[in-house]
Amino acid sequence: MSKIVIIAPSKEFADTVRSVVKKSSYKIYAPKDDRDFSFEETVPIAKQEEALGAEVIITRGGQATLLKKKVSIPVVEVKMTVLDILRTVHTLKSRYKRIGLIGVENIICDYRELGSYIDIQTYPVFSYEHDLDMQVRNALADHVEFIVGDGMSVDYAKRFGLPGIKLMPSSASVREAVEIAENLVRARFLEGTKNEQFRMVLETAQDAILIISNEGQVLLANNRAIHLLNRERTDIINYPIHDVLNGEKSLLNLLTQSQEFREEIVHVRNSVLSVSKRRIMVADDPIGWVLTLQDVTQIQKLEQSIRRKLNHTGFVAKRSLEDMIAVSPAMKNVVEKIKYFSRTNSTTLLLGETGTGKELIAQSIHNHSDRKNRPFVPINCGALPSNLLESELFGYEPGAFTGAHRNGKAGLFELAHTGTIFLDEVGEIPLDLQSRLLRVIQEREVMRVGGSSIIPIDVRIIAATHRDLQSDIRNGKFRADLFYRLHILPISIPPLRGRKEDIPLLVDVLLTKISERYQCRKPRLPEPFITKLKDFSWPGNIRELENVLERIVVLFNAEIPHDDVLQEIVEELAVNDRAATLTNEQSGGFDSVLNGTLEDIEKQVILRQLDQFGGNKELTAKHLGISRATLWRKLKEN
């Protein structure tokens, strides 16, 4: 398919065209013999080429005038220049006194003035049917001896015995026409590109969009609008908006307002729509309106799905410092450390019993740091067997092991690039992997399992453990060098029993959270009960407290007498505490303690109780039946 088609009505013109147009991408039609193309021949050619996808037709003279009416693509006319005519007339001047210029109006009009300069008669033809005969007769009446003009006119004049010569555009004129045609093709392409871009924007928009004229006629509607209006496109485009929205009174009242507005809410059938109306201005003139309609329920669904996707990756830290309750001095101190440490990129080690909030603190550090908009990648190192943990952390190349994914897989270190990786239960990492982890931390680069290339990473490391890593080092379970790499910024998180001042606020905030989750009323707990909660040792820390409160929310809503529920919980907590103390005393290691001297045994008992009460000396002393001063003294002595 050629985009530019040249129809040369005569053989001579075709020769001029071929001398100019060398590109094979142009299709040239020319008569096979000396006879010029008739209109009956050129019209079908032009129509066929248009149907095949031609974008521009080049031709000349009367053919151009006619084809412009017959096809809807642009027809570029090869115009005769004044110079073309002068050149022809000049050669004839010595032989003929009276020369006439005859031809269709578009050839003659610009040159009519020519007659006054070079003594030549002009005979414009507006329509071959109506004027040609008359103008040839006029020329004869004016005693014109020789005629120059377009093919049709000259041929016609010959029938009256009037000799003539056909005007032929020069190569320069052909070149100019070709240039115009090429520019037109380029402009059409640009326009097509713009239209397509506009269409794509319109169709990929989340909103239903309608463009209406100043008179309220729908000029354009995207597929969402068609879908929303539940009509056929043909029943919408070019119809008045009144007809299109017939029956949707509230929407119509809103849309026919003569003012712009934004995000007005309107109920249409079963949907809630947010509607906006904006003027379209072109050079300060209003030319219509653009209406956007958003299905609010759809937006809510979209938001949910985006959140689900983000959360599904697990790479978003949802909690932050605002979620942390810190009333006790011990926790306030932890919060200060979080704020301070989050300003650095250094490796941080969180030390604390289970349920003390290590994960919450890791997320808070991340969200308080410059990396807050980057990934937060948590992994529980204790939850996976060694080989799986290795490929999870460092990734693997295709075919690294049986069952490996065909395309390989990026490790969590890679996925955490520019963000934070949270190595929970770092004390559970097997020794062989510890050395690999050490290398990654030292070099800040990873190599996938089965791979040979090194991938540099920029990751902040936060590790956490409930284990006594120093003792693991002594027992050969944890590498000392890895410990020192992790122990750069340590945070010891006190157990709940060591920060009982936090309990009342924790109870209040957690009850609100849980009640919201269950969508039920928040229980009001009696003060004595809340105070009583401070007496227990909470081995499961805040998680245990959370579980107890969840039970209260559920049972209070089950209409079980509230006092019974609270009484049962207090008893259960007391029993658990006694059992824990007993187990501790029996298995804890009294066996080991009993082996030492009396002083050793006393020291072990004091330290164990101190630990049991999260370092709280007052409670420890009370439990051991000694004064705080005695406890101080004994601790000092030991």
Ligand X SMILES: Nc1ncnc2c1ncn2[C@@H]1O[C@H](COP(=O)(O)OP(=O)(O)OP(=O)(O)O)[C@@H](O)[C@H]1O
Q: How far apart are CA 62 and CA 42, in angstroms?
A: 11
Closest contact distance (angstroms) between CB of 491 and ligand X is 11
Asked if 461 and 441 count as a contact pair (C-beta separation under 8 A), the reply is yes
Residue type, 441: I
Least gap, CB of 428 to ligand X (angstroms): 11
CB of 328 to ligand X, least distance (A): 10
31 versus 504: smaller Cβ distance to ligand X: 504
For ligand X, the closer CB: 228 or 426: 426
Dihedral sign of CA atoms 601, 604, 606, 612 in order: negative
**Residue 559 CB coordination number (10 Å):** 7
Q: Strand (E) positions, 255-375?
A: 261-268, 271-282, 285-295, 348-351
Cα-based distances in Å from 145 to 100, 101, 120, 132, 162: 8, 11, 11, 17, 7
The CA distance from 492 to 464, in Å, is 10
What are 619-622's contacts with CB under 8 Å, separation 24+? 619/497
Residue with tokens 């920029």: 458
Query: Which CB atom, from 54 or from 542, has the smaller least distance to ligand X?
Result: 542
Q: C-beta of 333: minimal distance to ligand X in Å?
A: 12
Smallest separation, CB 518 to ligand X (Å):
15
Taking the complex as a whole, the smallest distance from the CB of residue 411 to ligand X amounts, in Å, to 22
Shorter beta-carbon distance to ligand X: residue 164 or 352:
352
Distances (CA, A) of 192 to 189, 197, 198, 532, 541: 5, 8, 10, 77, 67
Least Cβ distance, residue 592 to ligand X (angstroms):
26
Report strand pairing: 208-213 vs 27-29.
unpaired
Q: Which residue has the tokens 């080690």?
A: 349
Q: Six-digit token pair at 581?
A: 């103390």
4 with 56: CB under 8 angstroms? Answer: yes
Q: How far apart are CA 260 and CA 239, in angstroms?
A: 21
Could you tell me which residues are beta bridge partners of residue 569?
A: none
Q: Which is nearer to ligand X, 392 or 502 (CB)?
A: 502
Q: Hey, which bits of 53-113 come out as E strands?
A: 56-59, 75-77, 99-104
Residues with Cβ < 8 Å from 483, sequence gap 6 or more? 469, 470, 473
Q: Which is nearer to ligand X, 208 or 325 (CB)?
A: 325
Positions touching ligand X (CB under 6 A) are 323-326, 352, 354-360, 424, 466, 542-543, 546
CB-nearest residue to ligand X: 357
If the CB atoms of residues 138 and 354 are measured against ligand X, the closer one turns out to be 354
Helix (H, G, I), strand (E, B) or coil at 265: strand
Nearer to ligand X, 151 or 352 (CB): 352
Q: How far is the CB of 611 from ligand X (least distance, A)?
A: 17
For 78-228, strand residue ranges (E) read 99-104, 121-125, 146-149, 164-166, 208-213, 218-221
List for the chain the helix, strand, coil content (%; round to 5). 50, 15, 30
Whichever of 380 and 609 has its CB closer to ligand X, that residue is: 380
Which residues lie across from 213 on neighbouring strands? 288
C-beta of 490: minimal distance to ligand X in Å?
Answer: 15
Between 140 and 335, CB nearer to ligand X: 335
For ligand X, the closer of residues 150 and 546 by Cβ is 546
- Tell me the Cα Rg of the chain: 46
- Tell me how far, at minimum, the Cβ of 510 lies from ligand X, in Å: 7
Please name the residues in contact with 612: beta carbons below 8 A apart, sequence gap of 6 or more: 497, 537, 581, 584, 620, 623
Q: Which is nearer to ligand X, 66 or 426 (CB)?
A: 426
Least spacing, CB of residue 564 vs ligand X, in Å: 27
Nearer to ligand X, 324 or 446 (CB): 324
- For 119, the 3-state DSSP assignment is coil
State in angstroms the smallest separation of the CB of 486 from ligand X: 16
Of residues 354 and 584, the one with the C-beta less far from ligand X: 354
Smallest distance from ligand X to CB 386, Å: 20
Q: Is 157 helix (H, G, I), strand (E, B) or coil?
A: helix
Provide, rounded to whole angstroms, the least separation between the CB of residue 540 and ligand X: 8
Name 570's Cβ contacts closer than 8 Å, sequence gap at least 6: 529, 532
